[in-house]
Structures are given as structure tokens and as C-alpha cells.
């Protein structure tokens, strides 16, 4: 019985220890980035990721030299919170001192980044349904539009019209990926032995297009297009912590 | 008189000064293999004009086992330097051989050439005979991701087969990047019997990978002296090796490590101005040299201090072969006085010792003139701050993160647009709304126009009555025929007159069919209900079937 109790106590301690507040920050402050990273990763696996957590993990990954992972974390943090200061500073720092490239955002992407993709979609859906119902309901009831119905119609139609560039910007923002390998060649054709056009470095952000033969069509920050192996990229959407791309050990 | 003596003494002194000679020599290759031909070049510089040397071959006495002959000299008239060339063959035994000192006799003077040492060693790789072969030179150790591994292909020839070039170098290595200085860049080996093709290999992922390198070397076979007997051929080579790659260990990794792997050294920092004024920007140039992945290093961050504002200005990126990397910082002095530039510590990972090491750029003393500004915004110390208040942090670089504990996050960052339930529910709601709208519109339309349904119903009744009349006609049931026809006429007339069918009489039918025969309609109605009133035989009515059918058709067309 005592054995079970001690095991239970160990499990409780093990489960709660990494989640103590400030443990990761303290480790980060004293330069123990490995410790900070382990703490924050455990927290992310237990509670899920937040913008703050992803930004912090991005900082620690950057300090450990993992440029690709750091950029993935910061970009994802900005998806959750478009104005997260730590992630914004991290990306700015990576572009300046780190030398990573990131496509310049278009006006629609800047517009979309103001609220975030999900909020734009919710607003767009509300606008659409409001407009549709405001038009249909009076017709079905065979009554003329009242004052309130007209107000709802104008508000909903305006909301819907304003959400369209936001939705487009969110779509183009979502079509981006981070280069996870060092010195990846952008090729002319989607083939293994395709002619290399130019190179990208780990941590560079590229716009992604269609996929073919295990490759993805990418456009780099300087506007040059080409094909890149899909396994060498990590999309910004669709994950939480950066994927582990290390080669498995040979048997 | 005294002046004359001084001038005379000067003349005598200059004539008595002996000309000073400077003798240097060079053996190619510096270390010879047993039996390897070599070349000796003796250079003589003198204060006097030298001219041609005489009988040099007779003066020199080579040691036992060594063949040496005077092969020529290079001199110019009235020149103070001369070059003597010798060709020789090293002895077959290893060791150090001393070529005794000898005299070189020039027309104006005799110059003593000191003893010359020749080293003969088996380790040079020189081969007198044998086929040309290629060797892969790559360190045998665990490599690290991001490291620049300097490797080379050494193509060794022999007296019979000499390597003159290489082409088509190809590398297939998953998980590595492979770079060379250029397809035609090669270095000759010291013994002159081969070439070396250097390359750089950089692992980009951890794990065990296979390195496969292939290429072709150009081999000249035959007599080296007589070009008539020489012919060339291509000889391919291929190397395959398993390489183990790991990440740089995270334990013991310094916080300011910027990804450098290798053996690096610092050069003395270079400052553009050591006497600036307050607020005048000066450039601090820090250059790293050595073997390592210099081009991959992230520029070190130098935080500002109370006395300096510091920003990374630019980088000088050299070619891969230059083996140096320069970072340039802009320093702006904030206060006057004798200051020192900050010392910059630069950690690097040594792959041989598998430990992190650090090199440091030393401080440089700077004398800053001018006056301090009225208010200096101190970075670390704020005089107006209360005691115990933490210092303000710099805004440059990464911000210190804060993570709230216990906040529930998401397990996967996916856009709402990728949610299937979202689109399914919205689509279903849209379809339901459109269907409802359509149904309500149709129902409402028919409710507003009931005549469509009434006429449609009348058409159906009329057709059924016609069918019943045809059946009765086949059965020769004349009364039933007349009833069915009457029913059909009433059903077809009722919607036109907006009346109930059973309430219609012959005159009502005539209102709907003004051109119809009243007699025939009368007869049909009588035949239909005549049994009760003793009417004539209905058989007569059947004879007018065509007219009655025409009436029904006319009514049906009006509906």
C-alpha cells in the first residue's frame, strides 16, 4: 500500500512540478534555456499552447540555435494573438540579426492580422447570415422591411463587405511555411534532381502554393518561385509545437 | 687640410668595405620520397654585379646515393643577383642528407653557398611506380549539425601515371550540403605527382547518413619526359562512407552561443576612431578567423551600457575559402572621458574536444571628448528610480517572455476555416433556409391563386369522365355513357363559371360552350337522368359521340 502511495505521490509531483508558475521564466533568466524549454514544452503538452507559451518557446529555441523551430513558434504565436509583443520582437530580431527572410505582408495581410483569421471568419459568417435573414425574413412573412430590419441589413452587409479582404488576407497568411532545414535549394522542377535556382536557409518564411510529387511550390521573400521538398517545410497552420524533423536513428 | 683627410678616409673606407652576399635555396618538393626526382634552386644576391657562374657542376659534391647535376643558371648583365638550378634524384634510403658547401665562381667574386639539407622520407606518398589512385580525406569522428567539415579528394600519381586534372565531382549525401570552390579548382600535391580537390561538407540533420562521392580524374600514362609516348585517359573514382551526425550538445551550452562550431581565433579588434566626441558614432570591427562554420554564425549581441550605445551595423561576408568573418558594430559614446569598448566573448563548440570554448575580443581604450548631455538615459541604472526598482530592459533583440500558469490553450492551431463542422453546419443551415424559402414561396403562390389548383382538379375529373364514357361505350351501357359525358361537361364547365359541378344545368354548359348544340346537350342530360323521367333511349346520344368528345376537348383546352 505504501508503495502505491509513494508512486502516486511521485506521479503527482512529476505532473505538477513543471507546471509551477515562473519555473520556465527563472530558468530562462539565468540562461538555462534547455531547462526553460523543457518546462514550457511540458506545460504545452499538458495544457495546450497559448500565444505567450509559444513566444517563450520560440525565444528559448532561438537561444539554442534552432532558427526554424523558433520561427515556427513565433509565427504560430502571432496566429493566436496577432499583436503578441514577444513574438513580434522575436521575428524582428530574427530578420535583423539572424538574417532570416520573411515575405513582406500585403495590405490585405496587414488588415487580416489586425483581428486574426478566426475572428474574421466569424464576423464574415455573422455578416452573411444577418444580410440573408434580413432580406429573406420579411419576404417570407410577406411584410415590408421595418426600421430595425433595415438597420440589421445595412450593418450586416457592411460587416460582410469589410470581412472579405480580411478573409482573403487570412487565407494568404495561412499559405505560408517555415523552412526547417539548413540550406535548402529551391528547384526549377518538383523532382529530386531538379535544377537548383536559389537557396533558402533554416528559418526563412516562404509562401506556399500547390503540391506535386512530394514537393511544394514556394515563393521566397524576394519573389522567386520554385519547388521545395514538402518535408523540408513546416506549415504555420495545423500544429502546435514545431515538428521534430530529425532523422530517426538507423537500426 | 683636415677636410681633405676626412674625404680621403671616406673613400678608403668605402673601398675597403666587403661586398655582402645573401644566399637562399629551395628544394622542390621540400621532403622527398626515396628515389624521387627533385629540383634545387640557389638564389644569390650580392652588392656587386655577379654575371654568369663558372664550373658550378664541378664544385658540388653530392652525398652517396644522390644524383645531382647543374641544369642551368639565370642571370643578367650587371645584375646583382643570380639563380643556379640543379636537378637531382633523392637517395633510396630515408634520412637527412647534407649537400656540402661549395663555391660559386662569378667573374667578380666567389660566393660560398652553405651546406644544404635534403630530407628523404617514406611518408611523402611518393610512388615511383604504380597506378594513379584517389583517396578520400575526411575526419573519422562524429559530426555535428551545422558544422563545416573540410574534406578533400587526394589524387596521387606516380612516375608512370600522372594526374593532370579532375572533373565531374558529384556528391549524393542525404542530410548534407556539399560545396566546392569551383569545378576546376584543384591544388597540386607537394611531390608534384598529384592533385588535391578540397570540398566542404555540412550536415543539416542528425542521424546516420551515407556519404557517396564520385568523380573522374584525368591520368596521363607513359613517359613523362617524351610527350610523344604519353596518352591520357579518364579514371573514375567513388567513395562511400557512413557518417554519424549529432546535434551540438545542449548541456553546457553557453547562453550566448551563436551556432559556431570549429576552432576559431580572434584578431585584434579594429576601431575607426579612438578619439571621438560624445554622440559621435565609431565603428568597431571584430574579425574571427580559423577553421569552422564561419558563414553560419549569428552575429553576437552586444548590449548597450551606461557609456555606450551599441548596434550591429553590418557584416562583411567573405568567400568560403577566406576563413574569416567580420562583424561591424556602431558604438556611440554617451559620456566623455577615458572609456573602454566592451569586451566581446565569443563561445564556440570544438568538435574534436566536444566541449564549448570561448574566445574574447579585448577592450580598446578610447578617449571621448565633449560634454555630457543634460540628461543621460541610463540603460541599467536610473538615478530617479526608487531603491530596489529593477533596471529598465533594453528594447532591442528578444523580449523576456512571461508565461501565465494554468491557462488552458489549444492542442492544435487550426483555423476555423479548416473546421468541417463549421462548414457543414453553415451549409446545412443555408440549404434548409433556401428550401424553406422555396416551399413557402410555392405554397404562398398557390394560396394566392387557387384557380390553378381548381382547374388542375377539373382537368383530372374531365379526363376521368372521358375514360369512363369510353368504357361505357365499349360495354354498350348507354345510360352510363351519358352520365359520364354529363359529368365531364360539368367538371370542365365548373371552373370557368366559378361554380360547383353538380349545380350546373344545360344552360350553364351552353354559357361555357356557346357554339355547342343545345339539342345535343339537352339529349345528353336527358339520357343521363332520363330513366327517372321515362326519357327516350340513350342510344341516339351515342351516335353523336364525336361532337360530345369535341365539346370535352374544347373545355379541356380552356382550363
CATH code, domain carrying B94: 2.60.40.10
Interface of B with A in 130-169 (CB under 8 A): 145-146
> Would you say B151 and B199 are in contact if contact means Cβ atoms under 8 Å apart?
yes
pLDDT band of residue B1 (cuts 50, 70, 90) is low
Q: Which range among A151-160, B15-24, B436-445 shows the weakest confidence by mean pLDDT? A: B15-24
Cross-strand pairs, B441: none
Residue B262's nearest CA partner among B136, B137, B150 is B150
Structural domains counted in chain A: 3
Task: Looking at mean pLDDT, say which of A72-76, A170-174, B235-239, B385-389 comes out highest.
Answer: A72-76
Mutate which of B398, B412, B438, B447 to disrupt the A interface (most A C-beta within 10 Å)?
Answer: B398
Is the C-alpha dihedral spanning B268, B274, B278, B279 positive or negative?
A: negative
- Pick the last residue of a domain from B368, B391, B426: B368
Q: Above 0.85 for ipTM, yes or no?
A: no
Cβ neighbors of A39 (< 8 A, separation 6 or more) are A18, A23, A24, A27
Residue A149 lies in a domain: yes
Contacts A247 to B, Cβ<8 Å: 175, 205-209
Could you tell me the CA-to-CA distances from A47 to A4, A14, A18, A80, A86 in Å, in that order? Answer: 26, 15, 11, 15, 20
Residue B153's nearest CA partner among B175, B181, B124 is B181
Task: Please tell me whether residues B476 and B541 are part of one structural domain.
Answer: yes
pLDDT for the residue B297? 79
Q: Within an 8 Å CB–CB cutoff, is residue B412 touching chain A?
A: yes
d(CA B139, CA B435): 75
Interface of B with A in 258-287 (CB under 8 A): 258-259
Residue B151 lies in a domain: yes
Residue B446 lies in a domain: no
pLDDT for the residue B228? 60
> Would you say B484 and B461 are in contact if contact means Cβ atoms under 8 Å apart?
no
Task: Please tell me whether residues A83 and A153 are part of one structural domain.
Answer: no
> Would you say B104 and B111 are in contact if contact means Cβ atoms under 8 Å apart?
yes
Would you list the DSSP string of A35-77?
Answer: HHHHHHHHHHHHH-B-HHHHHHHHHHHHHTT-HHHHHHHHHHH
Region B201-230: mean pLDDT is 77
Give B23 or B4, the one with higher predicted confidence: B23
Residue B10 lies in a domain: no
Nearest to A64 among B206, B253, B299 (CB): B253
Task: Looking at mean pLDDT, say which of B62-71, B154-163, B220-229, B416-425 comes out highest.
Answer: B416-425
Task: Please tell me whether residues A120 and A88 are part of one structural domain.
Answer: no
CATH of the domain at A186: 2.30.30.40
pLDDT for the residue A249? 46
Task: Please tell me whether residues A137 and A208 are part of one structural domain.
Answer: no
Cβ separation A139–B437 shorter than 8 A: yes
| Per-residue pLDDT tens over the stretch A99-131 | 788 898 899 988 988 888 888 999 999 999 999
Residue B38 lies in a domain: yes
Contacts B303 to A, Cβ<8 Å: none
Task: Please tell me whether residues B539 and B498 are part of one structural domain.
Answer: yes
3-state SS assignment for residue B72: strand
Task: Looking at mean pLDDT, say which of A215-229, B63-77, B218-232 comes out highest.
Answer: A215-229
Half-sphere exposure of A133 (CA within 13 A, CB side): 14
Q: Is the pLDDT of residue B226 over 80?
A: no
Residue B384 lies in a domain: no
Which conformational region is residue B402 in: left (phi greater than 0), alpha (psi within -120 to 50 degrees), or beta? beta
Could you tell me the CA-to-CA distances from B522 to A93, B186, B223, B510, B542 in Å, in that order? Answer: 106, 124, 138, 10, 13
- % of chain A with per-residue pLDDT over 70: 88
Q: How far is B409 from chain A (nearest CA, A)?
A: 4
Q: How far is B435 from chain A (nearest CA, A)?
A: 12
pLDDT band of residue A14 (cuts 50, 70, 90) is very low
d(CA B393, CA B400): 9
Contacts B417 to A, Cβ<8 Å: 117, 121, 170-171, 174
Q: Which range among A92-106, A148-162, B44-58, B527-541 shows the weakest confidence by mean pLDDT? A: B527-541
Would you list the DSSP string of B212-261?
Answer: EEEEEEEEEES-SS-GGG-EEEEEEEEEEEEEEEEPPPSTT--TT--S-B
Residue A241 lies in a domain: no
Does the N-terminal peptide bond of residue B503 adopt cis geometry, omega within 30 degrees of 0? no
pLDDT band of residue B465 (cuts 50, 70, 90) is very high
Residue B146's nearest CA partner among A146, A182, A133 is A182
Task: Please tell me whether residues A219 and A194 are part of one structural domain.
Answer: yes
Region B396-402: mean pLDDT is 77
Interface of B with A in 206-245 (CB under 8 A): 206-209
pLDDT for the residue B94? 86
d(CA B22, CA B114): 11
Q: Is the pLDDT of residue B58 over 90?
A: no
d(CA A216, CA A230): 5
Residue A120 lies in a domain: yes
Residue A218 lies in a domain: yes
Q: Which range among A20-34, B380-394, B415-429 shows the weakest confidence by mean pLDDT? A: B380-394
Which chain B residue has its CA at the smallest distance from A122's CA?
B416
d(CA B168, CA B216): 6
Residue B540 lies in a domain: yes
Q: Is the pLDDT of residue B452 over 70?
A: yes
In B380-499, the DSSP E strands lie at: none
Q: Which range among A91-95, B28-32, B159-163, B499-503 shows the weakest confidence by mean pLDDT? A: B159-163
Q: Is the pLDDT of residue B304 over 90?
A: no
d(CA A240, CA A72): 9
Cell numbers placing B244: 554519424
Cβ separation A117–B416 shorter than 8 A: yes
3-state SS assignment for residue B121: coil
Residue A123 lies in a domain: yes
Task: Please tell me whether residues B117 and B137 are part of one structural domain.
Answer: no
| Per-residue pLDDT tens over the stretch B317-344 | 555 556 788 888 888 887 777 888 888 8
pLDDT for the residue B375? 42
* Alpha-helix residue ranges (DSSP H) falling in B23-168: 56-59
Residue A242 lies in a domain: no
Contacts B414 to A, Cβ<8 Å: 237-238
> Would you say B327 and B300 are in contact if contact means Cβ atoms under 8 Å apart?
yes
Task: Please tell me whether residues A6 and A96 are part of one structural domain.
Answer: yes
Q: How far is A24 from chain B (nearest CA, A)?
A: 8
Q: In what order do the strands lie in the sheet with A233-235?
A: A196-200, A184-187, A225-229, A215-219, A205-212, A176-179, A233-235
pLDDT for the residue B383? 45
pLDDT band of residue B11 (cuts 50, 70, 90) is low
Residue B469 lies in a domain: yes
Cβ separation B204–A182 shorter than 8 A: yes
Averaged pLDDT of chain B: 80
Task: Please tell me whether residues B283 and B350 are part of one structural domain.
Answer: yes
In chain A, the DSSP E strands lie at: 176-179, 184-187, 196-200, 205-212, 215-219, 225-229, 233-235
Supply the angle between the helices B518-529 and B478-497 in degrees, to the nearest 10.
120
Task: Please tell me whether residues A93 and A29 are part of one structural domain.
Answer: yes
Residue A133 lies in a domain: yes
d(CA B156, CA B133): 5
pLDDT for the residue B381? 45
Q: What is the dihedral of CA A230, A236, A239, A245, to 10 degrees?
A: 40
| Per-residue pLDDT tens over the stretch A142-152 | 888 889 999 99
Q: How many DSSP H helices and E strands does chain A contain?
A: 9, 7
Which chain B residue has its CA at the smallest distance from A142's CA?
B444
Residue B85's nearest CA partner among B73, B67, B96, B77 is B73
Cβ separation B208–A249 shorter than 8 A: yes
Which conformational region is residue B262 in: left (phi greater than 0), alpha (psi within -120 to 50 degrees), or beta? left
Give A15 or A164, the one with higher predicted confidence: A164
Q: Is the pLDDT of residue A250 over 90?
A: no
Cβ separation B399–A90 shorter than 8 A: yes
Tell me how far the alpha carbon of residue B321 is from its chain's centroid: 21
- Pick the last residue of a domain from A48, A76, A100: A100
Region B179-191: mean pLDDT is 73
Contacts A122 to B, Cβ<8 Å: 416
Residue B544 lies in a domain: yes
Q: Is the pLDDT of residue A16 over 60?
A: no
Cβ separation B413–A239 shorter than 8 A: yes
Percent composition of chain B: helix, strand, coil (DSSP 3-state, to 5): 25, 35, 40
Would you list the DSSP string of B140-181?
Answer: -S-EETT--EEEEEEEE--SSEEEEEEEEEEEEETTEEEEES
Nearest to A50 among B398, B407, B422 (CB): B407
d(CA B244, CA B247): 10
Task: Please tell me whether residues A70 and A18 are part of one structural domain.
Answer: yes
Q: Which range among B289-298, B308-317, B487-496 shows the weakest confidence by mean pLDDT? A: B308-317
| Per-residue pLDDT tens over the stretch A191-226 | 888 888 887 888 899 999 999 989 999 998 888 899
Cross-strand pairs, B348: B357
Averaged pLDDT of chain A: 84
Task: Please tell me whether residues B232 and B267 are part of one structural domain.
Answer: no
Region B159-165: mean pLDDT is 80
Widest distance between CA atoms in chain B: 195
Which conformational region is residue B212 in: left (phi greater than 0), alpha (psi within -120 to 50 degrees), or beta? beta
pLDDT for the residue B134? 84
Task: Please tell me whether residues A147 and A170 are part of one structural domain.
Answer: yes
Task: Please tell me whether residues B242 and B139 are part of one structural domain.
Answer: yes
3-state SS assignment for residue B305: coil
- Pick the last residue of a domain from B246, B277, B308: B246
Residue B31's nearest CA partner among B99, B123, B120, B93 is B120
> Would you say B112 and B103 are in contact if contact means Cβ atoms under 8 Å apart?
yes
Region B434-461: mean pLDDT is 89
Residue count (chain B)? 559
Residue A164 lies in a domain: yes
Cβ separation A53–B413 shorter than 8 A: no
Q: What is the dihedral of CA B27, B31, B32, B33, to 10 degrees?
A: 180
Would you list the DSSP string of B350-412?
Answer: ETTTTEEEEEEEPP-EEEEBS---SS---SS--TTSPTTPPPPPP-SSPPPP---TT---BSS
Task: Please tell me whether residues B137 and B241 are part of one structural domain.
Answer: yes
Domain extent, residue A212, equals 176-235
Half-sphere exposure of B180 (CA within 13 A, CB side): 19
Beta strand pairing call for A225-229 and A196-200: unpaired
Nearest to B414 among A43, A55, A238 (CB): A238
Contacts A79 to B, Cβ<8 Å: 413, 415
d(CA A68, CA A77): 14
- Pick the last residue of a domain from B348, B368, B388: B368
Task: Please tell me whether residues B152 and B242 are part of one structural domain.
Answer: yes
Q: What angle do CA B497, B501, B503 make, to 5 degrees?
A: 90
Domain extent, residue B283, equals 262-368
Structural domains counted in chain B: 4
Cβ separation A19–B406 shorter than 8 A: yes
pLDDT band of residue A157 (cuts 50, 70, 90) is very high
Contacts B204 to A, Cβ<8 Å: 181-183
Q: How far is A2 from chain B (nearest CA, A)?
A: 30
Cross-strand pairs, B128: none
Cβ separation A76–B258 shorter than 8 A: no
Task: Please tell me whether residues A167 and A190 are part of one structural domain.
Answer: no
Task: Please tell me whether residues B216 and B267 are part of one structural domain.
Answer: no
Task: Please tell me whether residues A14 and A96 are part of one structural domain.
Answer: yes
Q: Is the pLDDT of residue B175 over 70?
A: yes
Task: Please tell me whether residues B342 and B312 are part of one structural domain.
Answer: yes
Nearest to A246 among B205, B312, B398 (CB): B205
CA distance between the termini of chain A: 41
Amino acid at each position: 500500500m505504501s508503495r502505491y502511495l509513494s508512486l502516486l505521490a511521485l506521479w503527482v509531483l512529476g505532473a505538477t512540478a513543471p507546471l509551477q508558475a515562473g519555473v520556465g521564466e527563472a530558468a530562462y533568466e539565468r540562461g538555462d534555456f534547455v531547462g526553460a524549454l523543457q518546462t514550457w514544452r511540458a506545460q504545452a503538452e499538458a495544457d495546450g499552447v497559448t500565444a505567450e507559451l509559444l513566444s517563450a518557446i520560440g525565444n528559448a529555441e532561438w537561444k539554442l540555435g534552432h532558427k526554424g523551430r523558433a520561427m515556427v513558434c513565433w509565427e504560430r504565436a502571432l496566429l493566436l494573438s496577432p499583436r503578441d509583443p514577444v513574438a513580434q520582437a522575436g521575428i524582428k530580431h530574427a530578420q535583423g540579426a539572424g538574417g532570416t527572410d520573411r515575405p513582406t505582408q500585403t495590405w490585405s495581410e496587414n488588415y487580416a492580422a489586425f483581428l486574426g483569421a478566426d475572428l474574421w471568419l466569424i464576423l464574415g459568417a455573422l455578416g452573411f447570415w444577418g444580410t440573408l435573414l434580413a432580406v429573406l425574413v420579411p419576404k417570407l412573412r410577406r411584410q415590408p422591411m421595418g426600421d430595425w430590419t433595415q438597420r440589421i441589413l445595412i450593418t450586416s452587409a457592411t460587416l460582410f463587405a469589410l470581412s472579405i479582404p480580411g478573409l482573403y488576407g487570412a487565407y494568404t497568411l495561412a499559405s505560408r511555411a517555415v523552412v526547417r532545414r539548413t540550406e535548402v535549394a529551391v528547384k526549377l522542377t518538383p523532382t529530386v534532381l531538379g535544377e537548383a535556382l536559389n537557396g533558402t536557409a533554416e528559418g526563412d518564411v516562404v509562401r506556399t502554393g500547390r503540391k506535386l510529387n512530394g514537393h511544394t511550390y514556394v515563393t521566397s521573400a524576394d519573389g522567386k518561385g520554385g519547388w521545395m521538398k514538402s518535408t523540408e517545410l513546416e506549415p504555420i497552420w495545423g500544429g502546435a509545437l514545431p515538428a521534430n524533423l530529425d532523422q530517426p536513428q538507423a537500426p | 687640410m683636415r677636410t681633405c683627410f676626412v674625404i680621403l678616409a671616406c673613400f678608403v673606407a668605402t673601398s675597403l668595405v666587403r661586398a655582402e652576399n645573401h644566399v637562399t635555396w629551395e628544394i622542390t618538393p621540400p621532403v622527398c620520397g626515396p628515389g624521387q626526382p627533385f629540383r634545387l634552386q640557389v638564389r644569390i644576391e650580392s652588392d656587386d654585379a655577379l654575371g654568369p657562374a663558372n664550373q658550378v657542376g664541378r664544385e658540388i659534391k653530392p652525398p652517396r646515393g644522390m644524383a645531382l647535376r647543374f641544369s642551368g643558371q639565370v642571370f643578367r648583365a650587371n645584375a646583382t643577383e643570380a639563380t643556379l638550378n640543379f636537378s637531382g634524384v633523392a637517395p633510396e634510403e630515408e634520412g637527412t642528407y647534407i649537400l656540402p658547401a661549395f663555391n660559386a665562381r662569378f667573374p667578380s667574386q666567389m660566393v660560398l653557398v652553405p651546406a644544404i639539407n635534403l630530407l628523404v622520407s617514406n611518408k611523402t606518398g611518393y610512388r615511383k611506380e604504380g597506378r594513379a589512385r584517389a583517396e578520400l580525406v575526411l575526419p573519422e569522428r562524429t559530426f555535428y549539425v551545422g558544422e563545416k567539415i573540410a574534406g578533400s579528394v587526394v589524387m596521387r600519381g606516380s612516375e608512370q601515371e600522372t594526374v593532370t586534372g579532375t572533373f565531374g565531382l558529384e556528391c549524393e549525401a542525404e542530410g548534407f550540403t556539399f560545396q566546392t570552390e569551383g569545378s576546376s579548382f584543384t591544388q597540386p600535391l607537394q611531390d608534384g605527382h598529384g592533385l588535391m580537390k578540397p570540398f566542404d561538407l555540412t550536415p543539416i540533420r542528425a542521424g546516420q547518413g551515407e556519404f557517396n562521392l564520385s568523380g573522374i580524374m584525368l591520368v596521363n600514362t607513359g613517359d613523362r619526359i617524351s610527350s610523344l609516348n604519353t596518352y591520357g585517359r579518364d579514371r573514375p573514382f567513388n567513395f562511400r562512407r557512413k557518417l554519424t551526425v549529432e546535434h551540438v550538445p545542449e548541456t553546457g551550452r553557453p547562453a550566448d552561443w551563436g551556432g559556431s562550431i570549429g576552432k576559431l581565433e580572434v584578431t585584434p579588434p579594429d576601431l575607426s576612431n579612438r578619439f571621438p566626441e560624445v554622440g559621435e558614432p565609431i565603428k568597431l570591427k571584430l574579425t574571427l578567423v580559423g577553421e569552422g562554420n564561419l558563414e553560419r554564425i549569428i552575429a553576437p549581441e552586444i548590449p548597450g551600457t551606461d557609456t555606450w550605445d551599441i548596434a550591429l551595423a553590418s557584416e562583411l561576408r567573405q568567400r568560403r575559402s577566406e576563413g574569416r568573418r567580420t562583424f561591424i558594430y556602431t558604438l556611440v559614446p554617451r559620456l566623455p572621458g577615458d572609456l573602454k569598448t566592451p569586451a566581446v566573448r565569443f563561445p564556440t563548440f570544438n568538435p574534436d574536444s566536444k566541449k564549448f570554448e570561448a574566445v574574447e575580443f579585448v577592450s580598446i581604450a578610447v578617449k571621448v571628448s565633449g560634454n555630457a548631455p543634460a540628461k543621460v538615459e541610463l540603460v541599467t541604472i536610473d538615478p530617479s528610480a526608487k531603491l530596489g526598482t529593477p533596471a529598465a530592459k533594453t528594447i532591442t533583440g528578444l523580449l523576456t517572455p512571461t508565461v501565465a500558469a494554468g491557462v488552458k490553450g489549444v492542442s492544435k492551431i487550426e483555423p476555423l476555416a479548416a473546421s468541417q463542422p463549421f462548414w457543414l453546419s453553415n451549409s446545412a443551415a443555408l440549404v434548409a433556409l433556401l428550401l424553406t424559402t422555396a416551399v413557402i414561396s410555392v405554397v404562398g403562390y398557390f394560396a394566392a391563386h387557387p384557380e390553378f389548383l381548381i382547374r388542375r382538379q377539373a382537368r383530372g375529373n374531365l379526363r376521368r369522365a372521358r375514360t369512363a364514357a369510353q368504357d361505357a361505350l365499349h360495354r354498350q351501357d348507354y345510360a352510363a355513357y351519358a352520365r359520364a359525358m354529363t359529368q365531364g361537361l360539368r367538371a370542365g364547365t365548373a371552373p370557368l363559371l366559378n361554380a360547383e359541378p353538380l349545380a350546373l344545368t344545360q344552360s350553364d354548359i351552353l354559357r361555357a360552350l356557346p357554339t355547342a348544340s343545345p339539342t345535343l346537350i339537352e339529349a345528353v342530360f336527358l339520357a343521363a337522368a332520363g330513366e327517372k323521367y321515362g326519357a327516350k333511349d340513350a342510344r341516339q346520344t351515342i351516335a353523336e359521340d364525336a361532337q360530345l368528345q369535341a365539346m370535352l376537348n374544347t373545355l379541356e383546352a380552356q382550363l
